[in-house]
Amino acid sequence: MVSDAVAEEARRRGAAGRRSGALDIQREQSDVVMKADVPRIAVSGPGADQAARIAGAVVDPELPMISIADLGVLRAVDVADGSVTVTITPTYSGCPAVQAISDDIVTALRSAGHRDVTVRTQLSPAWSSDDMSAEGRRALAGAGIAPPAHRASGPIPLQLSVRCPQCGSRRTEQLTRFGSTSCKALYRCRDCAEPFDYFKVL
Partner 1 sequence: MTTTPPAGSGTSVSTADVADYALRLGDDALVLAQRLGEWISRAPELEEDVALANIGLDLLGQARSLLGYAGSLTGRTEDELAYFRTAEDFRAAHLMSLPRGDFAVTIARMLLVAAYQRELYARLTGSADETLAGVAGKAVKEVTYHLEHARDWTVRLGDGTDESHRRTQAALDGLWPYLAELFVTDELEQRLVAAGVSVDSSSLRAGFDATVEPVLAEATLDIPQVASVAGGGRRGNPGEHLGHLLAEMQSLARQFPGATW
Q: Which residues sit at the interface with partner 1, rule CB under 8 A?
A: 90, 92-96, 122-127, 175-182, 186, 200, 202
Strands 116-121 and 63-67: unpaired
Give the amino acid at 10.
A
Residue with smaller CB distance to partner 1, 107 or 182: 182
CB of 23 to partner 1, least distance (A): 26
Write down the H helix ranges in the chain.
2-20, 25-30, 48-56, 68-71, 97-111, 134-142
Which DSSP symbol is given to 154?
S
Residue with smaller CB distance to partner 1, 34 or 126: 126
Residue with smaller CB distance to partner 1, 14 or 148: 148
CB of 94 to partner 1, least distance (A): 3
Cα–Cα distance list, 131 to 37, 40, 59 (Å):
8, 9, 16
CB of 159 to partner 1, least distance (A): 11
Residue with smaller CB distance to partner 1, 1 or 158: 158
Print burial letters for 136-167: b (CB count within 10 Å at least 16), e (below 16).
bbbbbbbbbbbbbbbeeeeeeeeeeebbbbbb
CB of 118 to partner 1, least distance (A): 16
